[in-house]
């Protein structure tokens, strides 16, 4: 599992961001873009004054999507004809007016969202759920990070463990992720942590999600104004985070963990359908791995001397630790979980998955015949 910041460093950065961020609701007729090659700024007219912010990559993508401008063409204009980009964006912002939420951090527009977007911010989320995690016996935050797009908390419980094979011990855990910029819901996903190599595997099948959809922000239709956390929002957030705390409290589900372990045991007996090089090529095409990621997975597969599906899963999650980008490393952990969840051919299930059916648990039997 890739390591991010310490919990103390995470808290410090979230507090800094909390003080540096601004949120605005604006009629798009009060917004204007001005670009030069490689950079764009948004001007926001508000209460007789004008504020100007640079525009981040995510906000550019969201502006293009909202205005139905193909993003490849948008990027071409950005690079080669910035004045044409401005003409396109400003025309459609003003000709099809609507209210949008602009999320700004450190003087840069980081998101261009619906005015119904519910701000579930990282610092408040941590304040709500960290006491719950601390109260769990044996639970420990194994890794945490805040990226440009997400907050991640990866929790492992040392008390809930099992063996995939003799000496190959795994522990149960979960991942909490949240995006402040509209890239996905607040999610709680089961995690399996393999002690022998400290790899993390995210089991997407059993994820729970809570979406960032709320009430439309109140205010005049044709103005722009900054929004704050009023008392009504705080009460709404308190009720919402109580539900999130309940979700976290039951995230360490033993039955689901045992089912995931059962899949891992099954995968040990499923040989790869092709030689390792071909198998990784197919994997790379299916999950859009980069050339560097292909090489990392292949090296890990060869080093482990395990030509089973379980070996491939572990090669992917081992490669995630090498990945420089924490966001992408987490996605590789999810890809490992998707490989684990692929169907097992019927004959292999009968002949190899459980050679001694009398020794399996009822949960494992359920996995075998699913």
| 216: phi then psi, degrees, rounded to nearest 5 | -65, 135
Q: Are residues 139 and 48 in the same domain?
A: no
Within the chain, strands assigned E span 21-27, 31-36, 39-46, 49-55, 99-105, 108-114, 139-146, 151-165, 168-178, 186-194, 199-202, 208-210, 224-226
Flag whether 13 is in a domain: no
Flag whether 198 is in a domain: yes
Flag whether 221 is in a domain: no
How many domains does the chain fold into? 3
Q: Once rounded to an integer, what is the mean pLDDT over residues 290-318?
A: 94
Secondary structure of residue 80 in the 3-state scheme: helix
Neighbours of 57 (CB within 10 A): 12
Q: Are residues 267 and 347 in the same domain?
A: yes
Q: Are residues 136 and 99 in the same domain?
A: no
Flag whether 10 is in a domain: no
The model's pLDDT over 146-186, given as tens digits with 9 standing for 90+, comes to: 999 999 999 999 999 999 999 999 999 999 999 999 998 88
Q: Once rounded to an integer, what is the mean pLDDT over residues 311-322?
A: 95
Cβ–Cβ < 8 Å for 27, 45: no
Q: Which of 130, 55, 125 is nearest to 89 (CA)?
A: 55
Helices and strands counted in the chain (H then E): 13, 13
Quote the pLDDT of residue 368: 37
Quote the pLDDT of residue 231: 55
Cβ within 8 Å of residue 17, ≥6 positions away: 105, 122, 123, 146
Q: Are residues 362 and 305 in the same domain?
A: yes
What is the percent of the chain where pLDDT is above 90?
68
Neighbours of 239 (CB within 10 A): 9
Q: Are residues 110 and 126 in the same domain?
A: no
Parent domain of 184: 122-211+226-251
The model's pLDDT over 95-113, given as tens digits with 9 standing for 90+, comes to: 999 999 999 999 999 999 9
Q: Are residues 205 and 181 in the same domain?
A: yes
The model's pLDDT over 17-58, given as tens digits with 9 standing for 90+, comes to: 999 999 999 999 999 999 998 899 999 998 889 999 999 999
Print burial letters for 26-46: b (CB count within 10 Å at least 16), e (below 16).
bbbbbbbbbbeeeebbbebbb
């Amino acid at each position: 599992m890739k390591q991010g910041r310490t919990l103390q460093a995470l808290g410090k950065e979230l507090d800094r961001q909390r003080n540096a961020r601004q949120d605005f609701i604006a009629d798009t007729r009060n917004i204007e873009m001005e670009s030069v090659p490689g950079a764009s700024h948004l001007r926001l007219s508000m209460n007789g004054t004008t504020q100007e912010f640079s525009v981040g990559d995510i906000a550019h993508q969201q502006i293009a999507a909202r205005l139905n401008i193909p993003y490849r063409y948008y990027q071409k204009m950005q690079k080669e004809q910035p004045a044409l980009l401005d003409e396109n964006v400003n025309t459609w912002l003003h000709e099809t007016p609507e209210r949008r939420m602009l999320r700004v951090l450190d003087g840069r527009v980081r998101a261009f969202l619906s005015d119904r977007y519910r701000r579930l911010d990282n610092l408040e989320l941590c304040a709500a759920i960290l006491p719950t995690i601390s109260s769990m016996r044996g639970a420990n935050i194994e890794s945490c990070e805040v990226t440009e797009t997400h907050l991640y908390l990866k929790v492992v419980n040392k008390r809930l463990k099992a063996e995939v094979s003799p000496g190959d011990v795994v522990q149960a855990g979960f991942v909490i992720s949240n995006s402040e910029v509209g890239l996905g819901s607040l999610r709680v996903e089961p995690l399996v942590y393999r002690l022998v190599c400290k790899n993390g595997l995210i089991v997407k099948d059993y994820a729970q999600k809570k979406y960032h959809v709320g009430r439309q922000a109140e205010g005049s239709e044709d103005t722009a104004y900054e929004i704050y956390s009023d008392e009504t929002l705080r009460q709404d957030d308190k009720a919402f985070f109580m539900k999130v705390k309940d979700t976290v409290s039951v995230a360490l589900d033993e039955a689901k963990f045992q089912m995931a372990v059962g899949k891992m045991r099954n995968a040990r007996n499923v040989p790869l359908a092709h030689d390792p090089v071909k198998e990784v090529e197919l994997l790379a095409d299916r999950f859009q791995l980069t050339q560097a990621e292909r090489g990392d997975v292949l090296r890990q597969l060869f080093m482990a001397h395990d030509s089973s599906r379980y070996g491939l899963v572990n090669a992917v999650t081992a490669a995630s630790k090498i990945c420089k980008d924490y966001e992408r490393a987490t996605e590789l952990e999810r890809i490992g979980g998707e490989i684990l969840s692929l169907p097992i051919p019927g004959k292999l299930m009968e002949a190899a998955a459980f050679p001694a059916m009398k020794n399996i648990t009822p949960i494992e039997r359920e996995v075998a015949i699913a």
